[in-house]
Amino acid sequence: MSKVEMGEEEQDGTAVHDPEKKMNKASSASTVPPSSSSSLREALSSTSSSSLREQHHDEEVELKWAAIERLPTWDRLHTSLPLHANAIHPLEPVDVRRLGAADRRELVHTLITDIHEDNLRLLRHQRRRMDRVGVRQPTVEVRWRNLHVDAECQVVDGKPLPTLLNSAISTFSLLTTMLGFNRNQERIHILKDVTGILKPSRMTLLLGPPGCGKTTLLLALAGKLNKSLKVTGEIDYNGVKLQDFVPEKTSAYIGQYDLHVPEMTVRETLDFSARFQGVGSRAEIMKEVIRREKEAGIIPDPNIDTYMKAISVDGLERSMQTDYIMKVNNVQRRIHWFQRTMFFVCIMYSWLTDNGT
């Protein structure tokens, strides 16, 4: 018998003659330590409890949303589920017209954490919700054909000296012009035979040298030209002539020099503009969206639903649209930076004054 075979027999003999030790090894190999089994049970119990809580929350959301859908159309347009429900604030429908400043800021902060990414994501969520029920945003197409803008200008040789004789001559010339005897005028062509189109859902850049008529064209399209100018040609919005509706309700011209009330804060200025601008057709769009979602049995995202309903309410003194604009444009950070800069300037000025420099 070789040495290897003898070793195997010794091992087998040890295993045969000591069955209790073999049993202990098997039992120790098959059993799990108490700490591991307890942690496994805790993990399983926590997973099952969290899944039960989520299921219970989803069922509660469906019940509350069904209660909202049973409301009249006007009330359903202004009612949504709360942002965060807990033991103190249960999951009860809220009126978006009564959202406080903290609720508005919290909702905007929840929707837009990163300005560069979440803003586009929010717009896509709104678009996706509307496309899901087949509702489209209204679009405007502007066309102008053979547009001419002329101005009658009086030809002068230069500004005369402010003497009594020149003042009398100017007054006499003005009277003759008003009576129609003075024909010393010239017609200036600001725009001559201009044709173009502005497609909806696009951004158009208008380029040209100074004095070529860019501002005149924009004012003509917005219906804000001076009455003394002679305008010929056709301008229509979605096939409707500019003279057949009020263009100020559809378009706006913002000049490069915009005037604001200096006593108003940034938020007050934006809220003031929002109240005068109104909500447009957003209220009608929301009515159609919630009607079609009710028919299709679709439950929207609570945050998106609250935001879209809040910006569709007209006449509010404080609009959520203002919080959204200030968040996106980072106005508050710029204001804080300006305040810190002015504080530093005041400290430096005080220090220099105290040191006699």
Residue 172 · residue 116 · CB < 8 Å: no
Q: What is the pLDDT of residues 108-132, one digit of tens each?
A: 888 887 777 788 888 888 889 999 9
Q: Please tell me what DSSP assigns to residue 70.
A: T
Q: Looking at 179-304, which runs of residues are DSSP E strands?
A: 185-198, 230-237, 240-241
* Range 319-340 burial, b when 16+ CB lie within 10 A, else e: bbbbbbbbbeeeeeeeeeeeee
Cα 214 to Cα 207: distance, rounded to the nearest angstrom: 8
Helix (H, G, I), strand (E, B) or coil at 260: coil
Tokens of 240: 């409707």
Name which of 139-148, 169-178, 199-208, 286-295 the model is least confident about. Answer: 169-178
- pTM reported for the whole predicted model: 0.60
Helix axes 266-277, 320-328, angle to 10 degrees: 130
Cα 343 to Cα 352: distance, rounded to the nearest angstrom: 14
Residue 326 · residue 271 · CB < 8 Å: no
Residue 136 · residue 284 · CB < 8 Å: no
Residue 283's Cβ-count burial label (10 Å; 0-12, 13-18, 19+) is middle
Q: How far apart are the first and last CA of the chain?
A: 110
> How are beta strands 240-241 and 185-198 bridged, if at all?
unpaired
Residue 190 · residue 149 · CB < 8 Å: yes
Helix (H, G, I), strand (E, B) or coil at 134: coil
- Highest mean pLDDT: which of 47-56, 62-71, 149-158? 62-71
The residues spanned by each domain of the chain are 100-137+258-357, 142-249
- What pLDDT shows up at residue 302? 83
Q: Which helix (H) or strand (E) holds 344?
A: helix 331-354
Q: What is the pLDDT of residues 207-239, one digit of tens each?
A: 888 888 899 999 999 888 888 889 999 999 998
Cα 128 to Cα 122: distance, rounded to the nearest angstrom: 10
Residue 94 · residue 79 · CB < 8 Å: yes
- Highest mean pLDDT: which of 99-108, 217-226, 253-262? 217-226
Tokens of 176: 């003759």
Tokens of 195: 């044709």
State yes or no: pLDDT of 100 exceeds 70: yes
Q: What is the pLDDT of residues 5-40, one digit of tens each?
A: 344 333 443 343 444 444 444 444 444 444 445 565
Separation of CA 136 from chain center: 17
- 142-154 sheet: strands from edge to edge: 185-198, 142-154, 230-237, 240-241
